[in-house]
Structure 1
Amino acid sequence: MRDLARGMFVFGYDNYMAHAFPEDELNPIHCRGRGPDRGDPSNLNINDVLGNYSLTLVDALDTLAIMGNSSEFQKAVKLVIDTVSFDKDSTVQVFEATIRVLGSLLSAHRIITDSKQPFGDMTIKDYDNELLHMAHDLAVRLLPAFENTKTGIPYPRVNLKTGVPPDSNNETCTAGAGSLLVEFGILSRLLGDSTFEWVARRAVKALWNLRSNDTGLLGNVVNIQTGRWVGKQSGLGAGLDSFYEYLLKSYILFGEKEDLEMFNAAYQSIQNYLRRGREACNEGEGDPPLYVNVNMFSGQLMNTWIDSLQAFFPGLQVLIGDVEDAICLHAFYYAIWKRYGALPERFNWQLQAPDVLFYPLRPELVESTYLLYQATKNPFYLHVGMDILQSLEKYTKVKCGYATLHHVIDKSKEDRMESFFLSETCKYLYLVCVL
């Protein structure tokens, strides 16, 4: 399986380099590159992510290293240093630029400078912290998002040349504003400059202080000037998912007790109001556990769907030590995968059918599979990993890479391979059977 996962990555990466670089993404069906949609600035699905900075190459750096490909890693790092610039007239989402670009630059920098070199010799001759300097440059360009906001919660988007656009939206999702602390915190500690961690931590605290006094839950969309909740849905999927993830992972990285205290309180509220089904995973009466979407103030059910991003949560439960519940919840998402050979973007648990049918090669279920295998060493999770890998090969592989599934039932495709397929999905498939 390890070699198959590596082969999947290499096929996608080599085709990106051959047909798309220096553009941001690969269109794997027509074998060409994709950059920002300059003709339609309102096309946020593209423009939030693609900043005209060779996104897929940057995002894939640490995967090259983890897979032990030192020669290609060193070549890719030099390409990034020589060709990538953030002095671009591109308006990008702060969250996406942080997790995909800033995070990757910092990861690659740490891999190069790590005295232990756990993935083989990834050192680069005459390396002078260029990736760290690039990360600093990008972060400085993102800082205007944190200015002129009455709550301390950042604007969702910045132009890398000019700052916050004059017509910027005052509404942002909780995950987007509250999932910057890992990367900004690492940058601050590497630079010895507390500015970046301070603004990210201020945003987290501002969101946390807006939670419901009755339920302890947060909503999914907030006005950054008034602090009023525009979206009152509380769940584990889009708009909230990584807020919880970053609370715990920030504590693991930095050891700040306040982060763990916030996570523990949030986790208790999630258990109290979002969890449905029997109390124990594998015994008792009633349905298996499920986490639903509720009103943040009342805890009342708002709809009957879950989304594929929620598949990250079993992995987070592993990290907090709630392995039994993680096993049960992971089984729910894997059962959906088995039915369709992919995870539909939204699945209606009441109707037992997809509500939104596309699958953009997301990594969340694979990450949870990897973490559960690490926690249990149960070979079942190796089987799950292989099943996911084979489904991806069967249903998403095309001429020049792997394509988004437009429809998980009829398996029609869209001509897009998002950068996270190489940087996360392939990486976790590889790691399932390595460590």
Structure 2
Amino acid sequence: MRTLKWFLAVSGMCVALAGCGGGGSSGASSSTATTSTAVSTAFADPTATPVSSNSSNTVPIVVSSVSNVLNFPMVSIRICAPNTNAGLNCSTIDNVLLDTGSFGLRLFASAIPTGTYNQLTQETVSAQPLAECASFGSGNTWGLVRRADLSMSNEVAKNLPIQVISDPALSASIPTGVSGCMTGSNMATVADLGANGILGIGTQPYDCGADCANGAVTGAYYVCAGSTCTPTQVPLTSQVPNPVTQFTTDNNGVIVEMYQVADTGAAKANGTLVFGIDTQSNNALRGTSATVLSTTAAGNMDASFEGRSYSKTAFFDSGSSGLYFQSASLAKGVKGFYTPAAPTGLSAIFTATNGATATVQFNVSNGVTLVNSGNFAFNNLGVALYNGIDIGMPFFYGRHMYYGISGASSSVGLGPYVAYVSS
């Protein structure tokens, strides 16, 4: 798993939870900046607008105050009894975090109505129930792997392995110690996350893949006998997959498209999640003059910024509430929020795995002012991060962000890749 970094707004304060990849930051109040910096002119905001969310391969995206988390893109999903073509014992689950930095569907058991939950069959390995710990740096999700049919618009993934977080049928506590989960505390409730679950739709087909298929990996999959859990080898067919790969069509990637918001923020933002790339008239990459960057399977690239180089630790991630990077030139407030005196334009050079480069431009405004504004959608919220460049949700506003899944083909060749259009 990779990154989730987000900000929980509480009474004008904010608390940040950092994900895999390290770094991150915590709360900020209305304190003033501690240093000064020269100001450069901000770049013009991107202006690409989403396609309709009423098509057969699209669903709406909403950023709002519904979870009390800043810059949290949410979608609704429908899960049903497995192997019913999404036709029996179905329930709609709202407020599921759309995360392009992770892979697989994870739902809290408490968010699944009993009639549907009781129909979700348990996955087993060697005749023992299969459990999983998915690690996001500041916290882990722990629960059983179950089978469900997933429906989003007209797209259906049948008999899909998903993680049910805090599954009441799992009596064993989250593993700790040498053979335990990687790091962080247990995110056991909806309130811990700020969403009813996570829809991981990044560039990787499985959440663990060949590593877990070839041997037991500590901090991933477990079989549990009573209260004792042991890491276990898991075939790909039993692992939690990127659900898009299980669709019959439109299964080679996704596009995240968001309307632009004001530079001072907005109470709400809307967009469209589009399934497939170059498979229908509304998801073309061919002919768009997009910036295309090939990545590692997990969506990572090299980058350079302010004279520092980053090896395979630069990425674009809708599950991160801010723009996370290290800057010696920007003023900072407490807890790492950048606080320039005026909106400031910055550029990083991203290098794709095929050697292609792109200048990634973004703006940063006073983060303390932004998070205390009462708004929930921001296109210029920057936070200090010291071991990578995480281009999070602020970059997505006004752009079409394409995620080509590893091994899947489109007009630009095989994935994995990330591409974007800004107008």
TM-score range, shorter chain: under 0.3
More strand by share: 2
More helix by share: 1
TM-score (norm 2): 0.27
Q: Which has the higher contact order (CA 8 A, sep 6+)?
A: 2
TM-score (norm 1): 0.27
